Amino acid sequence: MTDRYAVMGNPIGHSKSPQIHALFAEQTGQDIRYEAILVPVDGFAQAVDQFRKQGGKGLNITVPFKQEAWALATQRSERAELAGAVNTLSIKDDVLAGDNTDGIGLVRDLTGNQQISITDRRLLLLGAGGAARGVIGPLLEQSPASLTIANRTASKAIELAKLFHNLGDIEARGFTELAGKAFDVVINATAAGLDNQTPDIPDNVINSDTVCYDMMYSKEPTAFVRYAKQQGARKAVDGLGMLVEQAAESFYIWRGVHPETRAVIAELEA
């Protein structure tokens, strides 16, 4: 029988996950079916239960259900515990196992596909919400020189830094406190791009020595990528590669096979 997988979210119509997993399955010879399921904002637990009863094997979880998925999971990986969010659920018998592949997806795209070094670099992570929390652990595992978390509301950045202080050198600042600071890599984990906006950071934070990465992706350059290029950034890319890499890690968790990602990224870009 063909094994069934899906991505759940709201909204979900824009999701590239079905296309990505179809390409993975074709490449690796795995017999799976993968679909996108729109879930009512107040109906996540019921949707997961229905999917389980119908024989579903695994789920990707996207906005706004990652924290709810964390709470629903009966087992959680260490990286899911750290992230406080789950984007991958594996279903076997009565066990609902939760994992988070966002951070490893980001790191693999940065260091592998984009050839952006993190080790011994000064990192700036913009935003202190769920997207930021999900990638801090994997970023710190790469041994950066420092990691600064910045947020419009400084207190949220401070809270997040406290959660991860035992993993490495972390600072927390408000956006206005970034003036005069220099960074090698700037990662945007804010939701500003949803409104075609950019984080309200001082202009001199990004310069010709800075590499910029937007965790959001779009057919056209995102607002943050456009802004970074206007500021003269050495390189500015969006998060399409992260999307594919985190999906590949989910695929491996479910099927035990590592798909090759670069051809899939190239096909999506085309």
Same domain, 72 and 165: no
Kindly report the average pLDDT of the chain as a whole number.
96
Shared domain check, 255 and 179: no
Residues 56 and 87 both lie in one domain: yes
Q: Which domain holds residue 76?
A: 3-100+242-269
- Predicted confidence at residue 221, as pLDDT, reads 95
Q: 70: closest CA among 88, 53, 94?
A: 88
Q: Count of domains in the chain?
A: 2
> How far apart (Å, rounded) are the C-alpha atoms in residues 112 and 129?
25
Question: What are the distances in angstroms from CA 95 to CA 9, 49, 57, 59, 83?
Answer: 21, 12, 11, 13, 20
Task: Kindly state whether residues 126 and 148 are assigned to the same domain.
Answer: yes
Assess whether pLDDT exceeds 90 at residue 1.
Answer: no
Residue 234 sits in the same domain as residue 109: yes
For the stretch 118-139, what's the b/e string if a residue is b when 16 or more beta carbons lie within 10 angstroms of its beta carbon?
Answer: beebbbbbbbbebbbbbbbbbb
Active-site positions read: 66
Six token digits for residue 243: 């999307």
Same domain, yes or no, for 220 and 141? yes
pLDDT confidence of residue 56:
97
Domain match, 88 and 14 both: yes
Q: Return the amino acid letter for 231.
A: Q
* CA distances in angstroms from 178 to 3, 65, 266, listed in the order given: 49, 32, 35
Answer whether 37's CB lies under 8 Å from 72's CB. Answer: no
Residues 87 and 107 in one domain: no
pLDDT over 90 at 169, yes or no: no
pLDDT higher than 90, residue 14: no
Q: What local confidence, expressed as pLDDT, does residue 43 receive? A: 98
Please report, in angstroms and rounded to a whole number, the separation of the first and last CA atoms in the chain.
Answer: 33
Per-residue model confidence as pLDDT tens digits over 115-146: 999 999 999 999 998 889 999 999 999 999 99
CATH number at residue 52: 3.40.50.10860
